[in-house]
Amino acid sequence: MKDVNFEFEKGKIYGLLGRNGAGKTTFFNCLNEDIEIDAGEFFIEDNGKQRKMEAEDIGYVLSTPNVPEFLTAREFLKFFIDINKKRIKNEKTIDEYFEFMKIEKEDRDKLLKDYSEGMKNKMQMLVNIIANPNVLLLDEPLTSFDVVIAEEMKQMLREIKKDHIIIFSTHIMELALDLCDEIVILNKGILEEIDKNNLDNEHLKNKRIFTYIFAILCIYNVLNK
């Protein structure tokens, strides 16, 4: 990162765009203190007062879900709620949380090791939402979902955004335009906001054509091996 000075506002979903390897996950790891930073600080501003951001302020949904596979979904949720009771506001029943995340009754008592990647990702997202952090970091969270569930997750994020700062990392521009209120580009260590209106339909049209051609070439190469 190079001389970054940026303000994210509560109540908005930010699309953090950048090519693969641009540093989106690294940026999240710095915010989450998984990586020690060389300089600079992160602050939360509340009622005009600044304070240093703490671990409790952040929820981090990894691109590859990390859940205790030896527990059932219900056991995991109960354990998480028990150890975070002081942080949880307006606590609901376990089944109400399952309903919120649209996890079917027949899946609630299954071992997490038997869950698909998409279902594990749902559980990871659910516990982060229950913790009610000020900042919710989502690192490519929709890539493991099918189309229907991805739409459900997008609607859920729109419903909860008023209470959070949500930063949504992706390299898929169309997804960012559909879901996010603001677009932020990370390129060569520089973090800057761009106007969504500048990403016009012609740009997206060209992108779709390029993606289609690339897919055809990949299929052709596979068939001719």
Instruction: Quote the number of domains for the chain.
Output: 2
Same domain, 110 and 216: no
Return the residue matching tokens 């919120």. 100
Is pTM beyond 0.85? Reply is no
Per residue of the chain (225 residues), give pLDDT as tens: 777 788 899 999 999 988 778 788 888 888 888 888 888 888 898 888 888 888 888 988 887 888 899 999 999 999 999 988 888 888 899 999 999 888 999 999 999 999 988 889 889 989 988 988 899 999 887 766 777 778 888 888 898 899 899 998 887 777 888 888 999 888 888 888 887 776 655 444 454 444 444 444 455 555 555
Same domain, 115 and 211: no
CB 89 within 8 A of CB 56: no
Q: Is residue 6 part of a domain?
A: no
Same domain, 106 and 163: yes
CB 84 within 8 A of CB 34: no
Same domain, 166 and 203: no
**225 is in which domain, residue-wise?**
198-225
Inter-residue long-range contacts of 51-57, CB under 8 Å, 24+ positions, other chains counted? 53/135, 56/87, 56/131, 56/133, 57/133, 57/134, 57/135
CATH assignment at residue 171: 3.40.50.300
Same domain, 184 and 222: no
Q: Is residue 8 part of a domain?
A: no
Q: Is residue 161 part of a domain?
A: yes
Same domain, 175 and 74: yes
